[in-house]
Amino acid sequence: MAYQRRIITQSIRLTGSPVGSATHVVWRAPMPCTIVTVYGYRSGGAAAAVNAKIGSTDVLAADLTAGNGAFATGTPTGDAGDMDAGDVLSLEVASGDATTVVIQADIAIDADAYDLS
């Protein structure tokens, strides 16, 4: 049986008046994997800069300006999105004054990983 690389998604939706700058732990990698894309969306307010972190290291070289009414996307460069088993993924609002922020990370799991348990 052939297994293909799988993509899973971790996300967070935050609301506030405005949403404060903070980092939120959302996932622990059960096996080696790679963050392939980070998405940001906002509504209300004037701006929101977002990023993802593996441990304390930013995944994107520069914070992503979350789109208003449409998702903005960013892609890690080099090995910035690589996660080892046990690494922690956090999603971060770096700055801004939006009233709703959604941050999403798409994570690729290699074809030879059969079980996520």
CATH number of the domain where residue 91 is located: 2.60.120
In the chain, how many domains are there? Answer: 1
Tell whether the model's pLDDT for residue 3 goes beyond 70. Answer: no
What is the full DSSP assignment across 30-43?
A: SS-EEEEEEEEEEE
**Is 104 within the bounds of a domain?**
yes
Q: How far apart are CA 91 and CA 27, in angstroms?
A: 9
pLDDT for residue 31: 92
- Secondary structure of 43-84 in HEC code, one letter for each residue: ECCCCEEEEEEECCEECCCCCEECEECCCEEECCCCCCCEEC
- The range of the structural domain enclosing residue 16 comes to 9-109
Domain membership of residue 116 (yes or no) is: no
| pLDDT of 5 above 70 | yes
| Rounded alpha-carbon distances, angstroms, from residue 13 to 10, 26, 63, 100, 115 | 11, 11, 17, 7, 28
Domain annotation covers residue 34 = yes
Give domain status of residue 115, yes or no.
no
Per-residue confidence (pLDDT) for residue 115, from 0 to 100: 55
For the stretch 22-71, pLDDT in tens is: 999 999 999 999 999 999 999 988 889 999 999 999 999 999 999 898 99
Domain assignment of residue 1, yes or no? no
Residue 117 pLDDT grade (very low, low, confident, very high; cuts 50, 70, 90): very low
Alpha-carbon distance values, 48 to 2, 8, 31, 59, 79 (Å): 42, 24, 31, 17, 25
In a domain, 89, yes or no: yes
Report if residue 3 sits inside a domain.
no
Q: What pLDDT does residue 1 have?
A: 47
pLDDT band at 112 (very low <50, low <70, confident <90, very high): low
Q: What are phi and psi of 11, to 5 degrees?
A: -145, 170
Which pLDDT value is given to residue 116?
53
In a domain, 4, yes or no: no
pLDDT in the model for residue 114? 57
Mean pLDDT of 63-81: 94
